[in-house]
Copies of this chain bind each other. A is one copy, B any other.
Amino acid sequence: MTPPIHRLAVIGLGLIGGSFALALRQAGYVRHILGFDTDPDQARQAIDLGVIDQASSDIATAVAAADLIFVAVPVGATRQVFSGMEECLLPTALVMDGGSTKGSVIADFQVACPDRLHQFVPAHPIAGKETSGVAAADADLYANRTVILTPTGQQTASALQRARAAWQACGARVEQMAAEQHDCILATTSHLPHLLAFNLMQVLNEQHDQTELGMCIGGGLRDFSRIAGSDPVMWRDIMLANQAALRISLRAYIDHLEQLAEELDAGDGVAIHQRFMRAQGLHRQLILSDSQAAASG
């Protein structure tokens, strides 16, 4: 089979971009992979690890002859990446991004490449690790994971079809929803939990001595706080890019915490028990059922 993608350009050689390259290569879906990263070390490592075939010295060169361009940079940097692109894109090229917020990325593309909206399909793979950098890239990162496409409606049917096919070649389940809806849900399922985990680290550190803490850390805390090991720049950008939706989730969260604090003060065991019962039930419904689906999927 001739690989469907002749030249793939990956802009941003981190976990997400690197894993996309490895997955497509493993699937025999791509012939040649170009990569660009602002950090020359990451680019060198990407070549050494076989993630890309060739490192480009700038974005324009990487993009020029590519039929698929995947932008996998922190969402605070997408506008700048897109801004060098419009002049160089082949008319047949498909541009995708992998950012965790979609409204902000679409707005960036609209500003930077207003005449290329028919070639653009925003994507968000719901996959990640707390480790970052190209050394963490993994050909199976997207296997059985969900990728959400948030088409702008201005893309061609063929662009959307090619976007779906590329992610399916990575082993992903492809879903589709509006960017606004995506951003609103991810604010609660992803951005808020990261913020909460980061926040706990600060409180742990302020309230207690490290040696004593060391004795009192169990598996519950380890799992809960795993995402506090995530990349600070990436997550700062996400929080700012999705600020409006995140504020709503955060406000609702704080309101419930304040209610809980009042119930604690009042020693209201009945109310607290009801809360925890409901939460345990929701955990079964929302999270465990999803884990089972993922495991069997």
Contacts and interface: CB of A to CB of B under 8 A. Distances in A.
Contact of A280 (B126, B145, B229): B229
Copies in the complex: 2
A90 B24 CA distance: 70
Contact of A247 (B129, B240, B261): B261
A193 B189 contact: no
A236 B269 contact: yes
Interface string A259-297: 011001101010011011111101111111111010000
B264 A250 contact: yes
A276 B223 CA distance: 18
A: contact size bracket: 35 or more
A203 B246 CA distance: 12
A216 interface: yes
Contact of A272 (B185, B212, B236): B236
Nearest to A233: B273
Interface string A159-188: 000000000000000010100011011101
Contacts of A256: 199, 202-203
Given A175-B215, A212-B181, A215-B175, A128 B282 contact: no
A247 B264 contact: yes
Given A216-B182, A218-B127, A232-B273, A287 B199 contact: no
A213 to B, nearest CB: 6
Contact of A198 (B127, B235, B279, B284): B279
Contacts of A215: 126, 146, 148, 175, 177, 185
A193 B224 contact: yes
Given A202-B275, A210-B285, A247-B264, A223 B226 contact: yes
A189 B213 contact: yes
Contacts of A146: 215-216
Contacts of A148: 215-216
A190 B280 CA distance: 17
A247 B219 contact: no
Contacts of A220: 128, 190, 193-194, 226-227, 230
Contacts of A228: 279-280, 282-283, 287
A218 B201 contact: no
A106 B177 CA distance: 55
Contact of A216 (B189, B225, B227, B261): B189
A101 B217 CA distance: 15
A197 B225 CA distance: 11
A231 B281 CA distance: 10
A217 B128 contact: no
A203 B127 CA distance: 22
